[in-house]
Structures are given as structure tokens and as C-alpha cells.
Amino acid sequence: MIILRTLCIFVCSLLGASAFAQSADTSRVPQSAAEISLSFAPLVKEAAPAVVNIYARRVVQTRRSPFENDPFFGGLFRDFNAPRPRVQNSLGSGVIVSADGFVVSNYHVVGQADDIRVVLNDRREYQARVLIGDEEADLAILKIDAEDMPFLNLRDSDTVEVGELVLAIGNPFGVGQTVSSGIVSGLARSGTATGNARGYFIQTDAPINPGNSGGALIDISGRMIGINTSILTRSGGSNGIGFAIPAALVAEFLDQARAGLTSFQRPWAGATGQPVDADLSDGLGLLRPEGVVLTALHPASPLVAAGLEVGDVIVEVAGQPVNTPAEMLFRMSVQGIGETVEIAYLRNGDNLRTKIALIAPPDEPPRDVRVLGDRDVLTGLTVARINPAVSAELGLPLNKEGIVVVKPGPLGRRVGLQTGDVLRQVDRIVIESPADVGPALRRAVPNVTIDAERGGQRLLLRFRA
């Protein structure tokens, strides 16, 4: 008992001496878990200057007159309930990722903004412009005109492990820059687990609240592993389940912004699939549930060119396991168009490997965009032929064919048309090309019937022109 007590006093003395030595020494980034337990202060001091507050403004028109587009009542009630501009403000966070002023944030923070201000931790302010914004990935790259800026280095997010200590830095509720700590509590989160079927995320229990969106999730070396983007909550506050977009995707966005692209270009798989669950696994003769089973393939898909078939199960892309379509798309996106990647797949119990070229969605056959003019029935209606590129832009199902509404225009919107509607017939006249739409509408006057398809359902629209 006396020996144990003496040993305890000796160990405690060593820990006290270590803490005293560290406080006396110049502050530095903690190098071990023991040092982390003493304080995060040196780490925060190093990383916080690169995390910025973002103030975005958007001017919208409200209180539109119900008679605004009416040919008779529009003039009579011109001033009735006239539309008025209203300013919408959004608050979020961002991260400087290069010394020459590239900033990353969430699309939902800045994507639709007319005016963006970036405010640094030292109160310096800059106007920012969006270089690339992508709603599906919920990422945006901004640029401020400044040099020698503090910035965070990006870590390869594929090296992140569950249980790692992390810090979330942002501006929750507009109270000012705030730091919260936690661990990586999950990887490869996608689908219903996140409330976003298209996303692929790192999960953390570090408290994330409104305003933290676009802020940094960093490791204990001060490297950014993700951009905080969303939470699962019933109350609106943090319940310990937050999600961050992996730094690997941020790096690809940054590369495309530096290359001068104005929209994010992601590779096209030309395929649909579903996760392999226990029931599917038994039916496919697999030893365990894994991978993504292909349910449909476009004839121009690079997977078809590589020899894959419907029913094959993709288990790896670029050396990383995939278990959901969102994860497969993520692995392709971080590689980028123009690259060649190896995939592993299962067919009839055999383990096979092949390489596929990552390509942009083909713009063939030609989309042949047509915009109806002033003399047409639905002035401003924009239509195009469906091809893989058009399908990717509008989110249409794979292998969909026909003529699609790209923009309904003000009159098309009034009669019920929406972007993505596929036009089949106008007054029993089959629409086979974009050039058929205008003449078919003119021939149908005055009583027009449009037979269309929306979300796989037939749609009939009737109006008098």
C-alpha cells in the first residue's frame, strides 16, 4: 500500500512538472493525447484565423399580383399588391483554403446570394464572389481579392478513422466564432442516415448548430478533414449527430475552380444501382451483404464499355469500398473527369477487376435547344432533346427519351408546365423533336391540350390560347 501511494505521488509529480513546463514554454500545437487533455488552445490559435464568418444577402420579389400576367386585368390592377423587393439575409461560415484567397463554404449559405461579405477573425472584411457552386454537393468555392491569407491545409479524408479527436469551428447563431470538440463518430454516412440521399459525409458528435454551416472540421494537427454542413435534430439544435463533407471532395472543387470552371463537373456513370442488403445477398449468392448491384445501364456508359452488366455487384472504386450509390458517385467525383480508375466487382461468385474511364455525360444526340418566340403560343418556353448531358443537368431518370421542358417561361408556368416535364403530344400531334413544339402549339389554337409526363406519371394540361 505504501509502495503504491509513493508511485502515485511520483507519477502525479511528473504530470505536474510536464504541465508546468508546457505553460512556461512557447504555445504550440499539442503532439499527443496527453497534451490534448491539457488544452486545445494552441491548436485553436493556429487554425481559427482561417475560419471566416460569411454574411450573404439576396434580393427577392414578394407579394406578386395575381393579375400580373393577365392580358386584361394586368393593366387595370397594375399597382394592386405590387411586388416589392425584400432582402433575405443568411449567416454561415467558410474556410480559407489557400493564401491567395480561395474560400470554401456551403452552397445553401452563398449559392443564391447577390452580395457576400467575408469577415475574418481579426475583423477584416472582404467582398467575395462565387466561382463554383453546386447544390447537389452543397459546396461552393468563393474568391476574395487578397494575398498572404491564413489558410488550412486539407487532409486526405480517406485516412480519417472513427474515434479521432476533432474540432468544429464556425459561427453558430451569429454569436461569433465558436469552437466545439468531439470525435469522428462515423464514416461513409449517406442516404436516409443523413436525411440526404445524394450526400456522402463524415459524422461527428462535435456540436454543430445553425451558422456552423460551411465551417471547418479539423483534426488535432490543425488540418481540415471536412466542411460542416448539416445535423440530424428534432429541436433545431445539436443532438450530437452532425455531418461534414469530406475534404477530398473539397479538393476536387478547388482544382476545378483554379482551372476556371464555373460549374462542378462530375463523372458520369450511366448506371443506376442499389445497396446489397441481406435478402439481395442471398439471392445473388454472396457470402455477405456488400457493394452496389447494378440495376440499369445506359448504352453509352463507361461501365458498359468496360464489360459490366446489369446484376454485377460493384464492391470497390479506386481501391475504396462502396456500399451505396452515393458512395460510388463520391469515389468517382473525387477522382475527376479524365482519370481512369480500377473497380472491383462480383459476377456469379467470381471476383473480377477492370478499369473504367471517367467521362462527362455525353451530349449526344444533339440537344437541339429551341426557345419559343413572341409569335408563339407559349412565349419563352425552352425545350430540348433528352440526352445523357441533359438528363444529368435536370435530374431525369436514366434512359429517359423524348423532348423535355428546360424552362417553362412565364406563360408555360401559368398553364402548369415545369422544368423536367417530358412533352409527348400536343393535341394528338406526337412531339418527336424540339422543332415540333412551336408548330404543334400553333395548330392546336384556340383549345390546346398538352400530353406530358412528370415524375413517371402522365400529365394532361388544357388551356385556351
In this structure, the answer to whether residues 131 and 84 fall within a common structural domain is yes
The CA distance from 332 to 359, in Å, is 10
Tally the domains of the chain.
Answer: 4
> CB under 8 Å to 458, separation ≥6 — which residues?
451, 452
The answer as to whether 425 is a domain residue is yes
Give the domain-ending residue among 89, 118, 144: 144
How far lies 183's CA from each of 28, 196, 204, 214, 219, in Å? 21, 22, 6, 18, 9
The answer as to whether 365 is a domain residue is no
DSSP 154: B
Write down the pTM of the prediction. Answer: 0.80
User: Which CATH number covers residue 380?
Assistant: 2.30.42.10
In this structure, the answer to whether residues 166 and 252 fall within a common structural domain is yes
Are the beta carbons of 363 and 389 closer than 8 angstroms? Answer: yes
Query: According to the model, what pLDDT value does residue 66 have?
Result: 52
Query: According to the model, what pLDDT value does residue 237 have?
Result: 62
The answer as to whether 19 is a domain residue is no
> CB under 8 Å to 400, separation ≥6 — which residues?
386, 391, 422
In this structure, the answer to whether residues 65 and 135 fall within a common structural domain is yes
Query: According to the model, what pLDDT value does residue 199 have?
Result: 67
> CB under 8 Å to 254, separation ≥6 — which residues?
97, 98, 102, 104, 141, 154
213 is catalytic: yes
138 is catalytic: yes
Query: According to the model, what pLDDT value does residue 36 have?
Result: 58
Query: According to the model, what pLDDT value does residue 241 have?
Result: 86
The CA distance from 296 to 113, in Å, is 38
The answer as to whether 37 is a domain residue is no
> Which of 90, 93, 105, 108 is flagged as catalytic?
108
The answer as to whether 35 is a domain residue is no
Query: According to the model, what pLDDT value does residue 433 have?
Result: 96
In this structure, the answer to whether residues 320 and 405 fall within a common structural domain is no
Are the beta carbons of 145 and 200 closer than 8 angstroms? Answer: no
In this structure, the answer to whether residues 353 and 279 fall within a common structural domain is yes
Beta bridge partner(s), residue 139:
134
Cell numbers linked to 199:
450526400
The answer as to whether 40 is a domain residue is no
**How high does pLDDT run on average in the chain?**
85
The answer as to whether 18 is a domain residue is no
In this structure, the answer to whether residues 279 and 326 fall within a common structural domain is yes
Domain encompassing residue 384: 370-464
108 is catalytic: yes
In this structure, the answer to whether residues 254 and 281 fall within a common structural domain is no
Query: According to the model, what pLDDT value does residue 90 have?
Result: 67
In this structure, the answer to whether residues 245 and 169 fall within a common structural domain is yes
In this structure, the answer to whether residues 175 and 225 fall within a common structural domain is yes
In this structure, the answer to whether residues 118 and 163 fall within a common structural domain is no
In this structure, the answer to whether residues 162 and 253 fall within a common structural domain is yes
The answer as to whether 253 is a domain residue is yes
> Which of 90, 98, 105, 138 is flagged as catalytic?
138
Give the domain-ending residue among 215, 234, 258: 258
In this structure, the answer to whether residues 126 and 214 fall within a common structural domain is no
Within the chain, which residues score under 50 in pLDDT? Answer: 1-26, 67, 73, 77, 192-197
Q: Phi/psi of residue 351, each to 5°? A: -90, 120
> Which of 180, 213, 301, 333 is flagged as catalytic?
213
Query: According to the model, what pLDDT value does residue 89 have?
Result: 67
Give the domain-ending residue among 105, 123, 144: 144
User: Which CATH number covers residue 180?
Assistant: 2.40.10.10
pLDDT digits (tens, 9 = 90+) for 98-131: 999 999 999 999 988 889 999 998 889 999 999 9
